[in-house]
Amino acid sequence: MRAKAAMAIGLLCATLGVGACSSTTEPSAAAAVPVVSAPPPPAPGVVGVSIGQSLDEKDRAAAIAAQQEAVASGARKSWRGEHGAYGFILPGPESGSCRDYTHKIFINGRPQEAKGQACRQSGEWRVTS
């Protein structure tokens, strides 16, 4: 019976607002608090901020994986998404701990090109722009 009373008080407090209940009431079931999740971070490099905006999630993942492989290996890398988009990445030579790259994407047969940069951080290549 005591648990039912505490639950009723908790529901009443949730309905009236937190300030309506004194701190002397027993612990009660808390009102449900909506969880708001943050939007996912943008994809790294040109795929996330420019030409990749019109790619669907799976095609974007293929482009990002190829972009990462190309900048890490220093070799051209092609990719083809599941929904018709495709492209390739041309990494430039290393300059210090960084290298520039060009990513060309074909969406609905139309070419789009953007340039970016990747740098070696803690032994791994990370796309920085």
Q: What is the pLDDT of residue 16?
A: 46
41 lies in some domain: no
Does residue 113 share a domain with residue 81? yes
From residue 95, give the alpha-carbon distance in Å to each of 46, 61, 91, 100.
19, 27, 11, 8
Does residue 53 share a domain with residue 97? yes
- Assess contact for 120 and 71: CB atoms under 8 A: no
Does residue 101 share a domain with residue 73? yes
Question: Which residue range(s) make up the domain with 23?
Answer: 1-33
Does residue 71 share a domain with residue 23? no
Q: Sign (positive/negative) of CA torsion 82, 92, 109, 44?
A: positive
User: pLDDT tens, position by position, for the chain (129 residues)?
Assistant: 555 545 445 444 444 444 445 545 455 455 555 555 444 444 456 665 567 777 888 888 899 899 999 999 999 999 999 888 999 999 999 999 999 999 999 988 889 888 889 999 988 988 887
Q: What is the pLDDT of residue 93?
A: 95
Compute the distance between CA of residue 129 and CA of residue 127 in angstroms, rounded to an integer: 6
- Number of structural domains, the chain? 2
Q: What is the pLDDT of residue 31?
A: 53
Does residue 116 share a domain with residue 56? yes
